[in-house]
Amino acid sequence: MRDRDELPFAIISALFVAALVVCNLIANKFVTVDLGFHVFVLSAGVLPYPLTFLVTDILSEIYGKKRANQVVISGFVGSIFVMGVLWLGAQFPALTDSKVDDATYFMVFHNAWRVILASMTAYLCAQLVDIRVFHAIKDRTGGKHLWLRNNLSTITSQLLDTVLVIGVLFLGEWSMSQMGGAILDGWSFKVLCALVDTPVIYGIVYLYGRYSAVRP
């Protein structure tokens, strides 16, 4: 692989890790997203999360299963590191004139470890399923129908991800109807994002095929 092909890989991988980390940090805030036809009630962490599945599909298509799995593992390690840093930050008392005092820090991040653990459990399972399903469909279709593997792999893996996250975080705290509504809204929103990003993955794969040494 030429050096010029490593820069796009590094940028895409960095976007993946950044989206993964930030979605865990803002996951405790719940928001509504009104798209006109439906008002979605979502964790704010859902908003950047579909980018991670778009990236794994791009990496799978262009660089192959092995490198896509490497980025998934990197994201997992990065998130665990962030959890450790958040814990470390809580071990030192804030200065009297600190803009963020101990109470504020605790209020924002005290549940972060649980969110990250729940998210990472779901994330690791779902991302690896996404990559496996993507390549299974690619093999079955002889490399044709990128739209099919992009969407089916994401739809399948995002359902698993959403069920695991909501289940781990809220089982015993929310009613089954609340959990069911959160799962349906979260999964539906992710599926919608997968449909919308289909032209994006076609465009990126086209550009790689034209200008890069890597041949999808």
Determine, yes or no, domain membership for 48. Answer: yes
Residue 118 sits in a domain of what CATH number? Answer: 1.10.1760
Determine, yes or no, domain membership for 17. Answer: yes
**Residue 146 has what pLDDT?**
87
Classify the C-alpha dihedral 93-97-98-102 as positive or negative. positive
Instruction: Indicate if the pLDDT at residue 1 is higher than 60.
Output: no
Q: What is the mean pLDDT of residues 147-173?
A: 84
Q: What is the mean pLDDT of residues 124-151?
A: 87
Determine, yes or no, domain membership for 135. Answer: yes
Instruction: Indicate if the pLDDT at residue 213 is higher than 70.
Output: no
Confidence of residue 108 (pLDDT cuts 50, 70, 90): confident
| Domain hosting residue 57, numbered range | 3-211
Determine, yes or no, domain membership for 216. Answer: no
Determine, yes or no, domain membership for 207. Answer: yes
Give bridge partners of residue 171 from the DSSP assignment: 174
End-to-end CA distance of the chain: 13
**Residue 90 has what pLDDT?**
85
Determine, yes or no, domain membership for 18. Answer: yes
For residue 87, give every residue at least 6 positions away whose Cβ sits within 8 Å of its Cβ, in sequence order, or none: 113
Q: What is the pTM of this model?
A: 0.79
